[in-house]
Chains A and B, each alone.
Chain A
């Protein structure tokens, strides 16, 4: 009995992940055929997805962690803006070193995680309300630091930002010059985070606790898990990753301004949801989230390469995708609920849909 239950959970889990990977491949291959002349097929184009989204990958990993516990964090975009602004302000206006800026960035993230995590875990306030407050606080604090745009010219910072790591493959351009494909160190950090968190979620006690809390908080409590402490830890880790991701984002944009990273929380949440993380908690992988981010990146580059479409189309398409995946999750969940209760309800549309879904996998 227990075995079959696990199996069905696994099925719907891998099913969502498979859809995500499939969607990414379809989109990217379609892009390759449509915009072959604009370099979509070059390996560098693929690497650019990682380069321009390194910060988002790290932030979305943190988001996935709190979503696995059944929570959510919509303050990450504001934290990113605040981190960028604080780093830019420290380096340009106060003459601080890049290391100080990095430490400051991580401290801001951890502080947000601590305060929000405490309110959510120990005072049992809805995560959404707390982080909504955090979102406005962060955005407002960014304006308190400076309302003007500060571009970063710090030497060490720019050295970090422009340090290219050449890869052993490349392409030959129209003039016949060989160009090696490259990535920035930020990409390596982002990939290291994805690998690290995957290992943490799979093989450590802490990771298992997160899934247990998200699956059923009551039974997690009965199993002897310190739910509050674990939740707080999850939010602190999320805050740390938001700070780190914000700094990576800053390396990419080299500037701080109030409107920066607006809507990034949405990108992170949709990446996690599209990657198969359940909004109700208990299910999710960071590999899926990585693919979620890649899908977002592909949509962005498709729309920018297309040229005539405006930038807000990215948001609309992404929202539509999010909506689709949320509805899919809800259909699967309700089908499961009904299956568990009585087979009398088996005739409903959602159940049929679920049956079909299972057949596909």
Chain B
């Protein structure tokens, strides 16, 4: 029995699931209606649906961030800004330069592809700095982190571009009479696509090996800088995709608010998912669970009347707690009682 528990607690997905369970448990105790799902006007309503729906962009960002973290041991802090850039591109092409429009000026597909291409360029820029010029990932992405929103405002000429067309609202809303929100399908598709690419090809292994030791991988014959570069490009595209969904939700391009604070959430999701922030082995599923945990936390805090401006305080406390728990020094200090102490700490911090 004890052995079985040890196997269970030792599993890499144990911690992420535990975190999610704790957050949900707190909600059950505080809000009894938390798990209720009802049908209104032919669509599902409820806290859980909200978490899964609103968490979609975060899930998409988190898988990109996981790959970047695994390959380069650093994080991409420009994802929020890249989301804003992609949204600005998409809306500006759709509106044909107008501030508000009721018809598409250009085809939707063209706009989406252009937005993804812009996001790809952003990712390639980050990847170039990190992989070719060997700049610390966070410093390299700091450039776009600050310039990105400026570029997005430049594209939308400093205004919020509205697209008042029902077809555009589908991406962030509902398809026809389907009761499940579209972003859920989109995020699931993105996760499955990336998971298949990573698991069915050798790419996942390459990424891990580069993350563990880049120079050793190069000696084995892997093009380590190309792999790092690819992860940043992929992260950029995924951020762009998330940006399009986020702009479709509000059918506009708001350069100042789309993807705000998302970089922090994405890093947090990766850390919560049991991935080590200094690179190496990674778990996509862990990050996905981490992302939903954060969304559940956000929804919970909103339900407790915490304002959006104050949210970062709680998230910062959680992220610092996680990195402290992950730090090698702390683990060594804890020694053999590691698991027990970790669990106790977690309960005390209540996430």
Contacts and interface: CB of A to CB of B under 8 A. Distances in A.
A316 B150 contact: yes
B317 interface: yes
Contacts of B179: none
Interface of A: 72, 74, 119, 122-126, 128-130, 132-137, 139-144, 147, 258, 263, 266, 269, 279, 310, 312-313, 315-316, 318-320, 322-323, 326-327, 330-331, 333-334
Interface in B118-147: 129, 133-136, 138-140, 142-147
Interface stretch (B193-201, B220-228, B308-316): B308-316
A123 B330 contact: yes
B19 interface: no
B310 A123 contact: no
A209 B319 CA distance: 31
B342 interface: no
B309 A123 contact: no
Given A144-B313, A258-B309, A124 B136 contact: no
A139 B312 contact: yes
B154 A316 contact: yes
A136 B261 contact: yes
Contacts of B153: 310, 312
Contacts of A319: 143-144, 146-147, 150
Given A125-B327, A132-B264, A133-B320, A140 B310 contact: yes
B147 A320 contact: yes
Contact of B143 (A123, A125, A323): A323
Contact of A137 (B129, B312, B329): B312
Contacts of A128: 74-75, 136, 138-139
Contacts of A123: 324, 327, 329-330
Given A124-B329, A316-B154, A266 B146 contact: yes
Interface in B230-269: 261, 264, 267
A130 B320 contact: yes
Given A315-B150, A322-B143, A137 B313 contact: yes
Nearest to B139: A279
Contacts of A74: 142
B144 to A, nearest CB: 8
Contacts of A315: 146-147, 149-150
21 contacts: A122-B329, A123-B324, A123-B327, A124-B328, A129-B277, A129-B323, A130-B323, A132-B264, A133-B316, A137-B313, A139-B312, A140-B316, A143-B312, A143-B313, A266-B145, A269-B142, A310-B154, A315-B149, A319-B147, A322-B142, A327-B129
B315 A124 contact: no
Interface in B281-315: 307, 309-315
Interface of B: 74-75, 77, 129, 133-136, 138-140, 142-147, 149-151, 153-154, 158, 261, 264, 267, 277-278, 307, 309-317, 319-320, 323-324, 327-330
Given A315-B147, A334-B134, A124 B320 contact: no
Contacts of B135: 279, 326, 330
A136 B264 contact: yes
Contacts of B313: 136-137, 140-141, 143-144
A139 B142 CA distance: 18
Contacts of B154: 310, 312-313, 316
Candidate in B140, B142, B149, B261 with the most chain A CB atoms within 10 angstroms: B142
A315 B146 CA distance: 7
Contacts of A139: 309, 312
A125 B321 CA distance: 11
Contacts of B327: 123-125
Nearest to A323: B143
A316 B138 CA distance: 18
A69 to B, nearest CB: 14
Which 9 pairs, one residue from A and one from B, show the smallest C-beta to C-beta distance?
A140-B313, A143-B309, A319-B147, A140-B312, A312-B150, A136-B312, A137-B316, A136-B316, A330-B133
Contacts of B77: 132
B328 to A, nearest CB: 7
Contact of B267 (A72, A132, A137, A330): A132
Given A123-B327, A125-B323, A132-B264, A140 B311 contact: yes
A263 B146 contact: yes
B120 to A, nearest CB: 18
A147 B158 contact: no
A119 B146 contact: no
B224 to A, nearest CB: 15
Given A143-B307, A144-B313, A327 B142 contact: no
B136 A147 contact: no
A323 B128 CA distance: 12
A331 B132 CA distance: 10
A51 B129 CA distance: 35
Contact of B278 (A119, A126, A135): A126
Contacts of A266: 142, 145-146
A130 to B, nearest CB: 7
- Which of B77, B139, B307, B329 has the most CB atoms of chain A within a 10 A radius of its CB? B139
Contacts of A144: 310, 313
Contacts of B311: 140
A316 B151 contact: yes
Nearest to A78: B312
A128 B136 CA distance: 10
Contacts of A125: 323-324, 327
A263 B278 CA distance: 26
Contacts of A135: 316
Contacts of B314: 140
Contacts of A126: 277-278, 323
Contacts of B278: 126
Contacts of A133: 316-317, 319-320, 323
